Amino acid sequence: MSPEEEEARERLLFHLENQTGFWFGLVVGDDPRPRARLCEAAAAWCKEHGRAFVLHEPEPDGLVQLAVELARGDSPGVHWIVADGVRGLVDVWNAGATQMLMAMNERREAYRKRLDGGIVVEGRSSLKRILREMAPDLFSIRAFIAEPGEEPKAASTDLPEWQEPFSLASMVSADDVDPDLALARLERLTMFEALATTEDWIDAELGATTSLYNTARYDEAERVARDLLSRLEASSVEPEKYAYQRAQACVILARIRILRADDTNEALDFWAEALRLLEAHSAREPDDALGCMLLTTRIAEEQAGLFVRMGEPYAAIQSLFAYVELILPESVVDLLPEMQTDLMGVYVRLAGLLAKHKDLDGAESTLRKAALIIQECASRHGEDPRWEFERLRNSVMLGQVQLAKKDRGSAAQTLVAVAALAKKLESYGEMRSPWRNVLERFYLDLARVLSFQVKYSDAVDRVRVRALSNLTRQFERTPDNVKLGWVLAQCHLKRAMLLEKEDVEGAKDSAQQALELVARLPVESDAEANLKGKIEALRAFVRKPGE
């Protein structure tokens, strides 16, 4: 453990041990592994001291709604919010976190009066700046910032490398330019305007726009970006010659509108113009097609996030669908890894939106197309275990869609087919939070589909035992997860019933596990009462002679 992580851990534990009533914490860093360990430390402390611990991992567009719900004070305890993930661009997460922190800032008195416990927001280092500029009054309550730092990268034989999505800044420029130096360069060009070429102005203004945006100097960034667009519109050069640079400026202006939440219609207009310019540039300069494709990906996902926040999910679906229909699996394998990751994020988000709004056939079709892309990339880059995780994630989502369609046979086939892959991925050891969540969700869904099995099979029973082992570990970490407890109990019940004629002692062991679980679980529905009755009926089966 690094000194930074140790200090952050001590700060977190101090607040857990000494604060009463409502308090606020921010855990930030660009390496998710130390952050995840702080989260686990907080969960362990709460378990040991009998305090409720709730982990929230919403999508970016769900962050602001979570802030509103927590203000009601219905759930005392420590609420840990992860404002980061493998899905979504950095700027999309920042926009969601900005709206969430602003909502928290407005509701700080409601938290103080109603919420007995703390809220900890976890995310990238940029959250510290967002908090300082957008929600400074949160520090009028008891609050702290913990920065656990980074750790050395895992060896290539261990974990797949964390795929950090490109930020909007890296999309425009890979250089981390000081904004004041960029503005000074612009000033020098003004002094020698007669000697400056159009390319000189574009390079200087686009660089300044990027660095100003990167440091949250949005007023100045907007001014320079608009100057750039005005200069190109007024110039005598061919209109489409600098289409790509104009598209970049339009995207930054759209992002500023969203971050300020002041004019979403203008943001949509900027995005529409950027898409038009990218299409024109791609046709004019085929060698730049990949760059245009990357920027189009960003626009599609950012538009979808905005539409969801505006309560227009079908517009979000249309935005994503229009984009992925243009992608051919064989065209993806030669993209940069970051671009491939962004593209998979678009497919995942599109499938999730389609499933949420009951277009299950569309969701299944989208996931099957994504599976072809994963297969193509894995065959070309077989040494990169990232594609194994992508395949598992895609299969988990496909299984969920098939379950929603009540196609239990296909769901079981989908999930059992990747059981060996899940077992392999577990061998990587310590796993970063987003991928660990995929594995945990896989075993949860696997247990559900296997509950519908009617015939015993040695091969499937081995898969079920592995699912039970994984779910048991999850339940031990989160004993307040009643829903998980009932899934675990049902899985033990099914195994006991199937093993009764194959392995009596094994059946009795599973039955005993089920009985011990239901003794701890509250009954909150008719279905749970019915399940408890079935399990209680096993007492005679497990009772030893003479008892």
The predicted-structure confidence for 252-309, as pLDDT tens digits, reads as follows 898 888 877 667 788 888 888 988 888 888 888 877 776 777 777 778 777 887 787 7
Extract the residue ranges of the chain whose pLDDT is less than 50.
153-175
- How far apart CA 31 and CA 295 sit, in angstroms, is 25
Q: Which two tokens stand for residue 63?
A: 């962050």
- Residue 80, pLDDT score: 94
Cβ density class 186-225: b for 16+ within 10 Å, e for less: eeebeeeeeeeeeeebbebbbbbbbbbbbbbbbebbbebb
Q: Say how many C-beta atoms besides its own lie within 10 A of residue 37's C-beta.
A: 18
Which domains, ranges and CATH numbers included, belong to the chain? 3-146 (3.40.50.300), 164-299 (1.25.40), 327-450 (1.25.40), 451-547 (1.25.40)
- How far apart CA 473 and CA 338 sit, in angstroms, is 33
- Residue 120, pLDDT score: 94
- Residue 169, pLDDT score: 35
- Residue 161, pLDDT score: 35
Q: Say how many C-beta atoms besides its own lie within 10 A of residue 320's C-beta.
A: 23
Cα–Cα distances in Å, from 270 out to 60, 208, 250, 256, 275? 21, 19, 5, 11, 9
- Residue 458, pLDDT score: 85
On whether the pTM is more than 0.75, the answer is no
Burial group, residue 473, by CB count within 10 angstroms (0-12, 13-18, 19+): exposed
- How far apart CA 24 and CA 117 sit, in angstroms, is 9
Q: Which two tokens stand for residue 264?
A: 């979403």
- Residue 391, pLDDT score: 87
- Residue 81, pLDDT score: 93
SS3 content of the chain, % helix, strand, coil (to 5): 70, 5, 25
